[in-house]
Each structure stands twice: as C-alpha cells, then as structure tokens.
C-alpha cells in the first residue's frame, strides 16, 4: 500500500504517538508499568468532587443532559461557556475581550494544528514561513503538526547553572534570528517538558520582537495562569490583540474531554472556528458544561490557586528530594528548576548512552519516561550533545508509583555511570 507524502509523515517514528501508546498500554498491561512518562494529570479528589457534583446537576436537571449530549454546539463552541470565559478574563485582568475573541477546540493539540498551519507553511508567491520556537526544548506534540517540511526554527537556549544541582534555560536573545521567513513565535509557559517558566521580562521582549515583525506571539498556556495555574514562581498573565493565548481544561482535571481554548483577535477566531467546522463540525460539549459554573463564579481560579497548584508543588518537591538522595553526589545529574507543569527534566551531562537507549533500558525495568531528544523540533540538524542527555519524568502519578519509578531510574543510572 502506498501512502501520500502527508500519510508518510505518520508512518514512521513519532514521539507523541509513542508517548500516547505507552500511556494507553500502561492502563491495560498486567502488571502495569510505572508510568512516569505521560502528561496525564493527577486525580485530585477535591477537583473530581466538583465535577461529580456538576455531573449530578446535569443529570437531574430536566432536559440538560439531553441537550449536552444530543445537540451540536456552534463551531466556535458553547456560547454560554465562551461568554463566561470572556467575563472572567475581563473582570480579573482588565483585558479588552469579548466572546468574539474566544474559540473552543477539541483539545490544545487540535488548536495548534490549526494555528501553526494558519501562520506557517506555503504562502502566496511560493515562499514559505516557519514557526519560531525561541526556547528549545519544547513540547513534543508540536513536532508533526506542520503540513510542510522544515516547519520549525528553534533557538538553542542559554543554560544557567544554579545551586543544589539545579539549572534553568533562558531565552538566548543574541542567538535569536528574525527575518521574513518567520510567520509566528510560539512558546509554552510553563514549558512542557522542562517546567521552565519564561520570565515576565522575556515575555515582554518576545512581544516587542513579534510586534516589530508584524507577526503573532502564540503562548501555550495549558499548564499556566489563571487555570490550572501549575506555576510555582511569579508569572503575570498577558494578552492583547497581537497575542494568541491558548488554554485547556485538561490539566485542571478533564483531559479526556478535550477542551482547548483559543483567545485571539476576532479575525483569527473566525478562521479557527471555520477550521473546526471542517475538521470536526463542532467542539465537544461536555467539558464546557462541567466547567461552566466554575468559570461563571470565578471559582476555577480559586481552586487552581488553593488546591491544584499546591498539590503539584508538594509532589514536585518530594520527587526532587528523592532524586537527590538516590542519585548521590557522584552522578552528574542536574534537574531543571521546577517552576511549573507536571514534569522534572533531568540532565545527565556526559551520559555514555543516548537518552533513547536509556528510555529503552528503563522500559525493560518496567518504568516509562520520555527520551529528551523528542523535544527539539526545529533543531534536528543541530548536533548538540545536550539533546541526547536528558529525560522527562512526571511526578503527577500516585505517590507509590513515583517513588518506585524514581528508585528504578536511579538504579539504572548508577549502572550506566559505573
């Protein structure tokens, strides 16, 4: 069987596909592997209780259950939910925003496929444009969404070495190359995979660069403020008509309901909505229905600040402490300063095997991580050793799983460096 060039893109090795396969296999395998690779959020009892209560209300209200599961929303998404989001952002942050500035999508991944191909690829006159990732490593899910080859240009970061075996990536503005081939700038905040939070000053400088070029600045806010607000450092939420801000209900606790949120100028929202009508007719309705009251009341930000954020910050601190104990002082390990998201990014300088081989060895031991080499889209030709010396580990799983998984990782690393 012969595939088109488009089809061939998906017939080979795809990092996000491998990750999701591992995640699915972990749910049905016996014994189940220790899933320290995926981005599935934790099951936070307090948050799940809120959604359980809301589901009971839907089931008990005459006609509401039938409406939620039996009617299409518009391609822009559930009107009441979109309106409540506009009110929330206008009231809490003073943004000049209305329902016309918001569209829902079937998850963030769906949103980025639409956005990236809207601003990059082939243009009239035969020239092509790319998405600039100003701070690699970046999200594994970006890698294959472009419909054209050479879709990304990524910027190697500065590495700041910190005390306590930590380090932090910073945007290397001296290395950042801007020209007419860049169609948009995009970064995640906090960054998946590293937990890095691009600083307010870095965001301001990137806004200035994007505005000077007349291109949008896309901010992937799936883990960020105001919800789910899995950020452990200072970070001001920001939006204007030159910014495309993307949020999600996944990390707040609804990953399977695939609810992405795009905030942008009206003309972009209109195109995204039309794309949704072509790709999937309309966004799903259940996620917005479950979250509507939380958004209307502003409770979603309170729960994010008082429940979700401290839950993950405590788990991050425990995982870091265990890694330091188990690795000892002679293993050349550094941890990216955990500033948010659900992950620890481990750098083993001088690792004598590739991170992909390390992933395979750990998989045989029954613990699943993600090899760091997948997180450098746009740097495929850059022979930077650092790309093959890192792994991503989640601390969102149950405490016993995380503890046992870290012990197995440390055991294998000690063998590798022996």
CA atoms of 239 and 269, how far apart (whole Å): 14
pLDDT at 29: 52
Distance between CA atoms of 337 and 168, rounded to whole angstroms? 6
Q: Which of 249, 269, 298 is the last residue of a domain?
A: 298
Same domain? For 163 and 197 the reply is yes
Confidence at residue 126, expressed as pLDDT on a 0 to 100 scale: 84
Specify the pairing of strand 182-188 against strand 121-122.
unpaired
pLDDT of residue 244: 98
pLDDT tens-digit readout, 294-340: 999 999 999 999 999 999 999 999 999 999 999 988 899 999 999 99
Q: How far apart are CA 205 and CA 171, in angstroms?
A: 10
pTM above 0.75, yes or no: yes
pLDDT above 70 (res 31): no
Measure the CA–CA gap between 362 and 354, rounded to whole angstroms.
Answer: 12
Count of structural domains, the chain: 2
Q: How far apart are CA 309 and CA 304, in angstroms?
A: 6
Inside any domain, residue 54: no
Domain assignment present for 335: yes
Last-in-domain residue among 278, 298, 318: 298
pLDDT tens for each residue of 116-153: 999 999 998 888 999 999 999 999 989 888 888 889 99
Q: What are the pLDDT digits (tens) for 1-18?
A: 777 776 776 666 565 556
Q: Is residue 58 part of a domain?
A: no
What domain range is 375 assigned to? 5-46+303-416
Residue 338 falls inside a structural domain? yes
Place 268 in a pLDDT band, splitting at 50, 70 and 90.
Answer: very high
pLDDT for 76? 97
CATH number at residue 400: 3.90.1150.10
pLDDT of residue 26: 52
What are the phi and psi torsion angles at 288 (to 5°)? Answer: -60, -35
Q: pLDDT at residue 27 above 60?
A: no
166 and 272 together in one domain: yes
- Do residues 172 and 319 share a domain? no
- pLDDT over 80 at 351, yes or no: yes
137 and 257 share one domain: yes
Mapped onto helix, strand or coil, the DSSP state of residue 354 is coil
> Are 238 and 276 within one domain?
yes
Among 23-27, 226-230, 327-331, 392-396, which is the least confidently predicted range? Answer: 23-27
Same domain, 143 and 284: yes
Work out the percent of the chain whose per-residue pLDDT is above 90: 85
Mean pLDDT, range 44-50, rounded to an integer: 97
Say how far apart CA 117 and CA 85 lie, in whole Å: 26
């Amino acid at each position: 069987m012969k595939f088109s060039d488009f089809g061939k893109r998906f017939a080979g090795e795809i990092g996000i596909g491998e990750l999701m396969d591992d995640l699915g296999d972990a749910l049905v395998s016996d014994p189940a592997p220790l899933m320290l690779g995926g981005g599935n959020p934790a099951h936070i009892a307090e948050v799940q209780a809120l959604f359980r209560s809301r589901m009971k209300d839907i089931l008990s209200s005459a006609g509401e259950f039938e409406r939620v599961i039996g009617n299409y929303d518009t391609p822009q998404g559930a009107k009441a939910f979109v309106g409540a989001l506009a009110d929330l952002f206008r009231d809490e942050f003073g943004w000049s925003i209305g329902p016309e500035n918001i569209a829902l999508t079937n998850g963030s991944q769906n949103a980025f496929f639409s956005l990236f191909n809207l601003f990059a690829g082939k243009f009239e006159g035969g020239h092509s444009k790319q998405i600039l990732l100003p701070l690699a490593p970046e999200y594994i899910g970006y890698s294959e969404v472009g419909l054209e080859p050479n879709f990304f240009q990524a910027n190697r970061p500065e590495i700041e070495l910190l005390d306590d075996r930590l380090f932090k990536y910073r945007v290397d503005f001296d290395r950042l190359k801007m020209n007419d081939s860049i169609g948009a700038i995009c970064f995640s905040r906090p960054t998946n995979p590293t937990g890095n939070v691009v600083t307010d000053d870095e965001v301001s400088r990137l806004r200035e660069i994007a505005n000077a070029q007349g291109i949008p600045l896309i901010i992937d806010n799936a883990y960020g403020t105001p919800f789910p607000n899995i950020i452990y450092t200072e970070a001001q939420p920001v939006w204007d008509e030159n910014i495309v801000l993307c949020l999600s209900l996944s990390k707040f606790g609804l990953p399977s309901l695939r609810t992405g949120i795009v905030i942008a100028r009206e003309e972009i929202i209109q195109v995204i909505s039309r794309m949704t009508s072509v790709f999937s007719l309309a966004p799903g309705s259940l996620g917005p229905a479950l979250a509507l009251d939380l958004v209307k009341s502003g409770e979603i930000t309170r729960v994010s600040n008082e429940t979700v954020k401290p839950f993950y910050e405590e788990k991050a601190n425990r995982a870091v402490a265990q890694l330091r104990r188990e690795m000892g002082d002679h293993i050349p390990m550094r941890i990216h300063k955990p500033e948010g998201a659900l992950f620890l990014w481990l750098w083993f300088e001088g690792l004598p095997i590739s991170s992909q081989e390390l992933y395979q060895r750990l998989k045989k031991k029954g613990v699943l991580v993600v090899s760091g080499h997948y997180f450098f889209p746009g740097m495929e030709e850059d022979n930077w050793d650092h790309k093959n010396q890192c792994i991503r580990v989640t601390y969102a799983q149950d405490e016993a799983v995380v503890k046992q998984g870290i012990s197995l990782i440390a055991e294998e690393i000690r063998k590798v460096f022996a």
